[in-house]
C-alpha cells in the first residue's frame, strides 16, 4: 500500500469547491481524485488503487451523496466514508449511519483545519484496516 500522498476521492457538484479542495489536499500531501457525479465517482473508485478516504457532498443532482456512499461501502468496505453537507437533519444523519456507515460528518462551509485533522485519522484508520486484511490473507 502506498504510504506517501494518500488518495482522497472527493465527490461534489460544485466545481469551484472542487478546485479549492484539490489545492488544499495537494498542498497538504494528499492526492485528490475529483468527481462531479455519483456515477463518475463510482467509476473512479473501481479504477483507482489505494483510495484511502472518500469525501462526498450530500446534496447532489441525480445520485445523492448517501446513495453513492452506500454503493461505495459495498465496493470498498474498509475505506472511511465522510459526508459533507450544509443541510443536516435527523433523517439524513440516520441514513448516513445506517445505510452508508459514514465515518464522519463535515458541515459546509468546510473548515479546512478540521478536515485535515479528520483526514489524518481516517487515513490511519484505512491503513490499519488494509494491513489487517493483508495480514489475514497471508495467514
Which domains occur in the chain, in start order?
7-138 (3.40.50.2300)
Cα distance between residue 10 and residue 38, in whole Å: 10
Which helix (H) or strand (E) element contains residue 59? none
Find all residues with CB under 8 Å of 128, minimum gap 6, and list them: none
pLDDT at 86: 87
Spatial contact of 86 and 59, defined as CB atoms under 8 Å apart:
yes
pLDDT at 3: 60
pLDDT at 60 over 60: yes
Spatial contact of 104 and 118, defined as CB atoms under 8 Å apart:
yes
pLDDT at 2 over 60: no
Cα distance between residue 121 and residue 90, in whole Å: 25
* Mean pLDDT, residues 129-133: 70
Of 88 and 42, the one with more pLDDT? 42
pLDDT at 90: 80
pLDDT at 134: 62
**pTM value surpassing 0.75:** yes
Amino acid at each position: 500500500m502506498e504510504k506517501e500522498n494518500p488518495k482522497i476521492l472527493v465527490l461534489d457538484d460544485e466545481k469551484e469547491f472542487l478546485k479549492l479542495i484539490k489545492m488544499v489536499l495537494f498542498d497538504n500531501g494528499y492526492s485528490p481524485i475529483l468527481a462531479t457525479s455519483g456515477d463518475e465517482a463510482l467509476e473512479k473508485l473501481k479504477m483507482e488503487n489505494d483510495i484511502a478516504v472518500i469525501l462526498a457532498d450530500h446534496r447532489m443532482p441525480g445520485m445523492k451523496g448517501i446513495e453513492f456512499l452506500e454503493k461505495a461501502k459495498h465496493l470498498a468496505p474498509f475505506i472511511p466514508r465522510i459526508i459533507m453537507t450544509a443541510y443536516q437533519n435527523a433523517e439524513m444523519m440516520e441514513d448516513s449511519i445506517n445505510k452508508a456507515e459514514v465515518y464522519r460528518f463535515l458541515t459546509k462551509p468546510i473548515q479546512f483545519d478540521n478536515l485535515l485533522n479528520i483526514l489524518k485519522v481516517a487515513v490511519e484508520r484505512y491503513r490499519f484496516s488494509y494491513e489487517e486484511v493483508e495480514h489475514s490473507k497471508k495467514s
